[in-house]
Amino acid sequence: MPDFVPGYALGDTRAALLFPFIGERLLIDASGELPSQRALRELGAPLRAFCFGALAGRACALKVWPSGPLLPSGLSNGDYRGLWERWPPERLAALVRARQLAAWALHNCFCGVCGQAMAMSAAEIACVCPACGHKAYPRISPVAIGLVVKGNEILLARSPHFAPGMYSALAGFVEAGESAEECLRRELREEAGIEIGDIRYFGSQSWPYPHSLMIGFIADYLGGELVAQEAEIEDLGWFGFDRLPVLPHPASLARRMIEHVRAALTGKTRLP
């Protein structure tokens, strides 16, 4: 399978596979594919343009234009989560990186220290202030996600913004000064009203909404009655594997943890 190899370079992007963004949203054509360079001509010069890696040996570039009301004819920047169903995994890996870097490039046009216009560094992936030397690197926000196991059941919850009927493991952004494990204990306490015991690391996944690194754990239930935090959680409960709700996409870390626990409970593998 052709891999995506991350990289970074300024310079000529004409021969590259182009990922165009207006604001933080990818532009796609009517068939759900990346638009041609020609289709983007009416947008004029982008705010930022650089290469961010290679897909099967071909350079990948992104161009970012500021948000505005006008889209080039025949293109849309609608909900591209549907691309998860259609695009091959290596192109999705490129999209994950492009989406996060587009947001970073857009949010660092001006220096956060002295307010001067920032430039892209040629030496490293950074926006640099020519006046004071401040550098802004792409932001990565860690999120702890935990699948809690109680006997033969797992804790699943749904947020109001999930697809209809879908439930997943609970997750939350790590706060300043907090470890991922402390974050997970706090999130389970705040959002579900329960305490968890032993926490085991499962794996991690880069997630572009908005620039997250999901850090996955499997945890044992320790005590407490389920109480959903009203503002964040629409519904939650203990689910046996014989009556699961709609689950997240198979490529997601949450789904991989759910499938791992399912295999462990049927003796096919061991819990981490």
Check residue 132 for interaction with Zn ion (CB under 5 A).
yes
- At closest approach, how far in Å is the CB of 133 from Zn ion? 7
Check residue 113 for interaction with Zn ion (CB under 5 A).
yes
- At closest approach, how far in Å is the CB of 137 from Zn ion? 15
Check residue 227 for interaction with Zn ion (CB under 5 A).
no
Q: Which residue from 106, 111, 126, 257 is in contact with Zn ion, where contact means CB under 5 A? A: 111
Nearest to Zn ion of 108, 212 (CB atom): 108
Check residue 114 for interaction with Zn ion (CB under 5 A).
yes
- At closest approach, how far in Å is the CB of 135 from Zn ion? 10
Written as six digits, the tokens of 24 are 């933080």
Q: Which stretch binds Zn ion (CB under 5 A): 51-59, 116-124, 225-233, 253-261?
A: 116-124
Whole-angstrom distance, CA of residue 112 vs CA of residue 151: 50
Nearest to Zn ion of 134, 255 (CB atom): 134
Residues in a beta bridge with 61: 18, 51
- Among residues 267, 254, 143, 147, the alpha carbon closest in space to that of 199 is found at 147
Reply yes or no: is the peptide bond before residue 210 cis, omega within 30 of 0. yes
- At closest approach, how far in Å is the CB of 225 from Zn ion? 52
| Whether the Cβ atoms of residue 201 and residue 217 lie closer than 8 Å to each other | yes
Nearest to Zn ion of 56, 119 (CB atom): 119
**x/- letters, 193..212, toward Zn ion (CB under 5 A):** --------------------
- At closest approach, how far in Å is the CB of 131 from Zn ion? 5
CA dihedral of residues 188, 192, 196, 199 (deg, nearest 10): -40
Q: Which residue from 25, 107, 134, 189 is in contact with Zn ion, where contact means CB under 5 A? A: 134
- What is the DSSP pairing of strand 75-76 with strand 48-55? unpaired
- At closest approach, how far in Å is the CB of 132 from Zn ion? 3
Q: Which residues are within 8 A (CB) of 31 and not within 5 positions of it... i.e. 6 or more apart? A: none
Nearest to Zn ion of 131, 227 (CB atom): 131
φ/ψ region of 126 (left if φ > 0, alpha if ψ in -120 to 50, else beta) reads: beta
Nearest to Zn ion of 134, 256 (CB atom): 134
Task: Give the helix, strand, coil percentages of the chain, each rounded to 5.
Answer: 20, 35, 45
| Whether the Cβ atoms of residue 95 and residue 21 lie closer than 8 Å to each other | no
Residue 192 CB coordination number (10 Å): 25
62-to-26, 144, 155, 224, 269 alpha-carbon distances in Å: 10, 29, 39, 48, 41
Residue 80 CA from chain centroid, whole number = 13
Q: Which residue from 129, 215, 236, 254 is in contact with Zn ion, where contact means CB under 5 A? A: 129
Using CB under 5 A as the binding criterion, the count of chain residues that bind Zn ion stands at 8
- At closest approach, how far in Å is the CB of 102 from Zn ion? 22
Check residue 119 for interaction with Zn ion (CB under 5 A).
no
Q: Which stretch binds Zn ion (CB under 5 A): 68-76, 125-133, 204-212, 233-241?
A: 125-133
By CB under 5 A, name the binding residues for Zn ion.
Answer: 111, 113-114, 116, 129, 131-132, 134
